[in-house]
Chains A and B, each alone.
Chain A
Amino acid sequence: MKRISALLLALVLLMSLAACGGGGAKQSAAPAPASESKAEGAAPAEGTPADSAASEWAPTENVTIIVAYKAGSGTDNTARVLTAYAEKYIGKPVIIENLEGGSGSIGWTALQQAEPDGHTLGFLNLPNFNSSITEGLADYTVDDFTAICNHVTETSVVLVKADSQFNTLEDLVQYAKEHPGELKASTNGKRASNHIGAQMLANTAEFQYVDVPYGGTADQLLALRQGEVDFSVAKVADFASFTSEVKILGVFAADRLPELPDVPTVGEQGYYDKWLGSSRCIAAPAGVSEDVVAFYAKAFEQIMQDPDYLKAAEAAGITTDYQGPLDTAAMVWQQQEFAEDLESAWGA
């Protein structure tokens, strides 16, 4: 008898766990309409996504967006801000699926293998996506994806600690040339995006340095703040919470950034003169129809102009940069060529 009652109790418990799970689900569904009502009135084409798109295609079920990094990561955060305002324009709930691992390749493989029916999209992180191809981490190629639009572009900058002896890029380069191999730069991983930046600077300025891989941008910048290394290359949003602790010596772009008007570009100072950074664009598996691409390109363009979205994006430090399908595809290819050409940049 005792045993039976024990089992029953356990069962009740298990069921209550399940019930509490169910309750939670309702909770998690609740915020969606709330966010919709908050955004009410702001949209010209409220609730009629078919009108807002030029084509006849529209999703008939929930849309899944694959993010190849964990929840709470930079990519995930920007994706969530975007999708929070998406339902109004897309007409169906947009769900983020985090498939992390394998330096992104696991999520992108899942996207490649997804049904090209327009109900599964994904974020491609350039140039990490390209290096996953060149490093042989995955079986897909650029051809396996159809670009829809670009969402975020972040530009790389050269950083030193606020109390560093270097005040300009010139100082740094001169010191590095006089003391070859003495300066240390923290990177977010061997041949990862920020290592590429440091290497490009070193190659064009013709100095030697030691790269120290830290495996992630947070750790990389912590090492800079601790004074373990002398300089670093990172993206503007990465150090937003401690801007006072660092000095920005140069921007990897053709022109100065509007948000950093006083910081010269690296090219201005005589070194690498092209844009370097990362972008996150939205893509679908290859084989989706043109109507699907047109529908989403239009929808995402509208989302990225939505005043509520823009307000949230600004608060979260997201640098929105919409680009249409053709421009985005060109960018993916250009980054791919860049990644393939990099082999020569690493030198011996």
Chain B
Amino acid sequence: MLETLFLMGQGFINALSPMNLLFAAAGTAIGIVIGCLPGLSAAMGVALLLPMTFTMAPETGLIVLGAIYCGAIFGGSISAILIHTPGTPASAATAIEGYQLTLRGKAGKALAVACFSSFCGGLLSCISLYFFAPLLAQLAMKFGSPEYFWLSVFGLTIIAGVSSKSMVKGLMSGAFGLLLSTIGMDPIEGAKRFMFGQASLYEGINTTCALIGLFSMSQVLILAETKIKERAKAAKFTDKIALTGSEIKRLTPTILRSWVIGNLIGILPGAGASIACFMGYNAARQFSKHKEEFGHGSIEGVAGPEAANNAVTGGSLIPMLTLGIPGESVTAVLMGGLIIQGLQPGPELFTRYAPMTYTFFAGFVLVQFFMLGIGLLGCRGFAQISRLSDAILIPSVAVLCVVGSFAIHKNFTDVVIMMIFGIIGYMVRKFGLNPAAIVLALILGPIGEKGLRRSLVLSGGSPAILFSTPVCWVLIGLCVFGILSPIFMNRVEQKSLEQAGGGDIVAPMED
């Protein structure tokens, strides 16, 4: 034990070398830029810069990649908040409340909250990375096919929570998303389903591509339909960036919840930051003491998803480093990087290569501080983008959508798919359906389908397998809670609404 602590301390000393610090700072900055550009996800950022790290020392290379990973997950929130364009799928849920804050002229505050919560989420996830890695890694081994099915069902219950006024319409959006998620190869039979003759649909609709269409392109069309607003005049700025003590106190429970959620989701292979951010958002909403603010810009609605998605970063490293199981596409790339450096993930990383591993961990901690620093410094500047006239935003965001969707696979088909989703997203938002529910279903659909159908293959068709383990029952309990609590809450809300005299059906995402 003492020896381990010594190694940990040694790691910090190594990580504080000027070279490592320089690369950590540069990596964080690059990550933030990659994250806030739509279409460039954390995984792509890490993959694109991976070759650069081959010539570095292994620990420095890993720190750079970790920095890009964390930076990109945080960076996605910047564009989500400012222009309703989640830079990565991991910040899709941040756009919901963050953009409402921007519309109310509080972009700076929203960015500061996002930055602070990302920092907390990331830093807290390091605790589990340092001290509970072997223990938590066992969780990854406990999750088999039936568990993944229930996890995705639980994720889908969030739809009931995010669709406030008409739950049926929210659920319809979810089912529509699930149907779209069946496009592509059948995971069990290998049959080509609903591909409309496009080879690029073989692996299903790309989530990032659909997300850019549903959130960003639809936003362009929404901006284009009415008289152009001059933002700087339209919204009066009472924008104080620094967080007050009472705000931090208010956010603390949300951040702690999101940390636990994000960390656990991160450990589960195949789940990842995009699911965690929705779960974090949902938890923030369910337990908030200021529920009335949700839908109109709530700082908890920004802190919840952002703390959760950054808590994923530390969590997802755990199964990769200890068991060689890449949980997310980012960690798969990181694992590739390790292998190229001649390091096999597994227990050896904590014995023979412990100095390198602990240097990387220490670097990972330092990266969180760089992220906080760069983020807070940048907040004021970034927030200025929210003052740009809509007239300038319309073509600029459209161009970014196109270039972002093209960059995913360097494929023009993806751009066309993005455009189709843009028009669907516009109609969906106009007619009170819920784009967030569609995205969520697109992310969870394949996980749930694989879990369900694989379980049935394993059991020879008997559904009893879905109720066979304690973990299954825990998840079933969560599902029941997830379904019942918003129904109950809706009752309460509707009563208060009826008293106030409101009655029509408008999705919470609409401006």
Contacts and interface: CB of A to CB of B under 8 A. Distances in A.
State yes or no: do A and B touch (Cβ within 8 Å). Answer: yes
Interface of A: 2-3, 6-7, 9-10, 13, 17, 20-21, 24, 27-28, 31, 34-35, 38, 70-74, 76-77, 80-81, 84, 96-103, 105-106, 109, 135, 137-138, 184, 189-191, 210, 212-215, 218-219, 222-223, 225-226, 228-229, 240-242, 312, 314-317
Contact of A101 (B52, B142, B200, B384): B200
Interface in B44-64: 44, 46-52, 54-56
Nearest to B389: A3
Given A213-B187, A215-B187, A317-B339, A242 B324 contact: yes
A231 B101 CA distance: 54
How many residues of B sit at the interface, in one of the four size bands? 35 or more
Contact of A7 (B143, B346, B388, B410): B388
A97 B410 CA distance: 10
B342 A101 contact: no
A126 to B, nearest CB: 19
B458 A72 contact: no
Contacts of A9: 381, 384
6 contacts: A3-B389, A21-B33, A72-B337, A77-B339, A190-B186, A316-B340
Contacts of B329: 70, 72
Contacts of B124: none
B411 A101 contact: yes
Residue of B202, B230, B323 with highest tally of chain A CB at under 10 A: B202
B336 A76 contact: yes
B55 A241 contact: no
Contacts of A213: 187-188, 190, 454
A212 B410 contact: no
A218 B269 CA distance: 10
B94 to A, nearest CB: 20
Interface in B273-290: none
Given A101-B202, A218-B326, A226-B141, A71 B333 contact: yes
Contacts of B337: 72
A175 to B, nearest CB: 17
A240 B344 contact: yes
Contacts of A77: 336, 339-340
B188 A3 contact: no
A187 B329 CA distance: 20
B49 A28 contact: yes
A106 B409 CA distance: 9
Contacts of A138: 199
B199 A109 contact: yes
B409 A100 contact: yes
Given A189-B190, A228-B458, 9 more contacts: A31-B52, A70-B47, A71-B333, A72-B334, A73-B336, A80-B50, A106-B200, A106-B409, A241-B323
B134 interface: no
B384 A10 contact: yes
Contacts of A312: 340, 342
B144 A99 contact: no
A17 B26 CA distance: 12
Interface of B: 26, 29-30, 33, 44, 46-52, 54-56, 140-145, 185-190, 199-200, 202-203, 230, 232, 269-270, 323-326, 329, 332-337, 339-342, 344-346, 381-382, 384-385, 387-389, 392, 409-411, 450, 454, 457-458, 460
A209 B7 CA distance: 48
Nearest to A96: B51
Contacts of A84: 54
A242 B56 CA distance: 26
Residue of A27, A31, A35, A101 with highest tally of chain B CB at under 10 A: A101
B385 A315 contact: no
A24 B200 contact: no
A80 B48 CA distance: 12
Contact of A35 (B55, B187, B190, B269): B55
A6 B200 contact: no
A242 B30 contact: no
A3 B387 contact: yes
A84 B332 CA distance: 21
Contacts of B190: 135, 189-191, 213
A95 to B, nearest CB: 10
A215 to B, nearest CB: 6
B33 A17 contact: yes
A31 B334 CA distance: 19
Contact of A31 (B46, B55, B326, B339): B55
A99 B141 contact: no
